[in-house]
Structure 1
Amino acid sequence: MTGQDPETAPQQAKGTRSIAALDQLVSTCRACPRLVAWREEVATVKRASFRDEHYWGRPVPGFGPADAAILVVGLAPAANGGNRTGRMFTGDPSGTVLFGALHAVGLATGAHPVSRDDGIELINTRLTSPVHCAPPQNKPTPEERHTCAPFLSRELELLRGTLRVLVVLGAFGWQALFAVLLEGGWNIPRPRPRFTHGAEVVITHPDGRAVTILGSYHVSQRNTATGRVTPAMVEDVLLRAKTIAES
């Protein structure tokens, strides 16, 4: 995808023919001025504890195999986590909880994600998000979510041969995912399923595909610190996803 306009990268997503090409395109995107300015400011100013590190400072692509059966959908990269390390859920407390749970149920080779080069691999599982840039206050706007949506839409299509389960972390991801699925022609129940922790919904596509969507509270530091979600709760959802994927 070299030579393409980074300000129109989302519109180019349909032209990608592989997960690797999509990830490369995502990492070049400059379509949302507010997010570009914020991610680059954070990468320049830096948190004091990371002042000697080189920040990624770009959109963070998905992570995991191109033939995954399970897709975990988050919210957006953390300013000093994924925006620093360049990998989803890596280098912050949220990632420690998620990777710990993935490792506990046999979906990751390691439990302590610290960098893109730490050697951890995901097993039959891929991580992604509806928004690929770190947003101020962890709050993307509806317009930014809409702009980024073609990336998630294409990711779902490129995984169509293997995808069996979608694990959604939080209400934002739930809403974003269902908007993309509706746009993609999936048969969405009416009223649209509501997000709850432990929600389980099976949806079908006119072409015969079916996926199970599971809901989990987000592994944000606020949620884990208050006990709204615990590692055991996340493990339960991921174990359910693994069971469905292997059935």
Structure 2
Amino acid sequence: MDLRSIAELDARVAECRACPRLVAWREQVARDKRAAFADQDYWGRPVPGFGPADARMLILGLAPAAHGGNRTGRMFTGDQSGDVLFRALYEVGLANQPHAVSLDDGMELFGVRMTAPVHCAPPQNKPTVEERDRCAHWLDAEVNLLLPTVRSVVVLGAFGWQAGLRAFADLGWSVERPRPRFGHGAQTAIRLGDRELRVFASYHVSQHNTFTGRLTPTMLEQVLTAAATHAGLLPGTKPSG
């Protein structure tokens, strides 16, 4: 896929209709709406990544939420999972404000871009393997465009961990064999020639994980801080590798 910029990629992603089940679901949700958002216009399309084109740190999630990103048009925006993530980014110093509610809310990320291996909201938050595979070329293209600047990757959840490592392997990066197992706080280094990226794992910011205390704000901030430090994004730090 010959894409010359992140802006071109984002525009192409937003027009994708490759997965019939996901197209039907995202559009049905946009028509039926949740009662609390009945007066709002839903995005109802694939949700592109969010953040600068020269990001030094990449955050990989799972897929947009039906009444979050599928409503607002921005990754992790407008739902409780996103509230946890953006608050943590703000506390660490990687976002200009703690809340993300809409495309025009003034949110800015500092050196960080967020995306997902699946760009459409799936039923029950569970994309099929076939849908993940069909969407993989978008993640491959996004990673490829970010390669000149990216130095660290934070992966949220086991699904993102598997998809992210596979995307890098497809681009020719050397990934440990056997593949590193997912676990909160896990790290692995991947290499391409003389380049090295550090991949950091965190439990997903799902309501189940945050409500039960499996993932606390402190736990998330620790992973984000480690990844941002490796990428040289925090004051007084220099990028590694």
Same-fold call, TM > 0.5? Answer: yes
What is the identity, as a one-letter code, of the residue corresponding to 1:240?
A: A
Equivalence for 1:100 = 87
Is 1:171 paired with 2:158? yes
- Cα deviation for residue 183 of structure 1 reads 1.3
SS at match of 1:15: coil
Q: How does 1:14-93 map to 2 (within 5 A)?
A: 14-93=1-80
What is the identity, as a one-letter code, of the residue corresponding to 2:146?
A: L
- Mark the runs of 5 or more structure 2 residues left unpaired by the alignment: 233-237
Equivalence for 1:237 = 223
Does the Cα contact within 8 Å between 2:44 and 2:70 map onto a contact in 1?
A: yes
Does the Cα contact within 8 Å between 2:158 and 2:182 map onto a contact in 1?
A: yes
Any runs of at least 4 consecutive aligned residues in structure 1 with deviations exceeding 2 A, and if so which? none
State the distance in 2 between where 1:141 and 1:26 align. Answer: 19
- Cα deviation for residue 180 of structure 1 reads 1.2
SS at match of 1:166: strand
Does the Cα contact within 8 Å between 2:57 and 2:154 map onto a contact in 1?
A: yes
Equivalence for 2:207 = 221
What is the identity, as a one-letter code, of the residue corresponding to 1:55?
A: Y
- Mark the runs of 5 or more structure 1 residues left unpaired by the alignment: 1-13
State the distance in 2 between where 1:120 and 1:155 align. Answer: 21
- Cα deviation for residue 178 of structure 1 reads 1.3
Is 1:210 paired with 2:196? yes
TM-score under structure 1 length normalisation: 0.93
Is 1:200 paired with 2:180? no
The equivalent position to 2:115 in structure 1, one of 128, 136, 144, is 128
TM-score under structure 2 length normalisation: 0.96
Give the CA RMSD over aligned residues. Answer: 0.6
State the distance in 2 between where 1:183 and 1:124 align. Answer: 25
Percent same amino acid at aligned positions? 63
State the distance in 2 between where 1:230 and 1:101 align. Answer: 10
State the distance in 2 between where 1:107 and 1:82 align. Answer: 20
- Cα deviation for residue 25 of structure 1 reads 0.3
